[in-house]
Amino acid sequence: MQIGSVIAVFFVLWWISFVAVLPIGNKSFHEAGEQVVAGSDPGAPVAPRIGRKILMATGLAIVLTGLLMWGLTNETLQYYWNR
């Protein structure tokens, strides 16, 4: 697989991973028992921790891309796939 294809696959897997980890650990103002700031949504997270979620999505995308690359280059899997 060419490097451009690997980067494209990583990019797609990163976005899917990022959307998947966004709701992890979020508490809304209502759930946390805090006062809602005027003009904000009561369901908005108190502390979204976006940096941590970006790192989680990156790690997950690296693992998934590695597994995909391993599966595409593994001769045993190719043998059973092409059978």
Tens of pLDDT, residue by residue over 19-71, are 999 999 999 888 888 888 888 888 889 889 999 999 999 999 999 999 999 98
- Bigger pLDDT: 37 or 12? 12
Q: Is 54 in contact with 19 (CB distance < 8 Å)? A: no
Which pLDDT value is given to residue 52?
Answer: 96
Task: Quote the tokens at residue 13.
Answer: 């897997």
Q: How many domains does the chain have?
A: 1
Residue 37 is given by DSSP the state P
Query: Rounded to an integer, what distance in angstroms lies between the CA atom of residue 26 and that of residue 73?
Result: 38
Task: Quote the tokens at residue 37.
Answer: 């700031």
The model carries a pTM of 0.82
Task: With CA atoms as reference, report the closest residue to 58 among 24, 17, 23.
Answer: 17
Residues spanned by the domain of 28? 3-81
